[in-house]
Amino acid sequence: MLAVHLGALRADHDFKNGTIRLLELDGEQDRNEFTGRLDGPFEIWNSQYFPSRGYPHQYSTEQMVIMYNSRMRYMAEHPEDFRTAYERSARGDHQTVAEPRDEREPE
């Protein structure tokens, strides 16, 4: 489902840019907007949402928000798994990949 994929991608992007938030649906919103509330380390934001577009839009937006929040919570609990390659290289904790070996017998 595209909405689930979009939720995961948005969470990845936000987390890697230092934005730690959760989304909720609260009536019509023409853009994402901070509610002024916090839940632990997370800011709570109202997600862009247009209920007048009907049930398909509502369902896909709900699925996107569920995945976004789930992914964001997981990344906040396991930040070491989501450091960028640049951060890993700078810290010296990258893995070395072996060169491929030619399996043919020597001639």
Domain extents in the chain: 2-87
Instruction: Tell me the C-alpha distance between 83 and 19, whole Å.
Output: 14
User: Each residue of 76-86: pLDDT tens digit?
Assistant: 998 888 765 55
Instruction: Tell me the C-alpha distance between 66 and 71, whole Å.
Output: 9
Q: Report the DSSP beta bridge partners of residue 49.
A: 29
* Average pLDDT taken over every residue of the chain: 83
Question: What pTM did the predictor assign?
Answer: 0.75
**Residue 43 predicted with pLDDT over 50:** yes
35 confidence band (pLDDT: 50, 70, 90): very high
Return the pLDDT at 8: 95
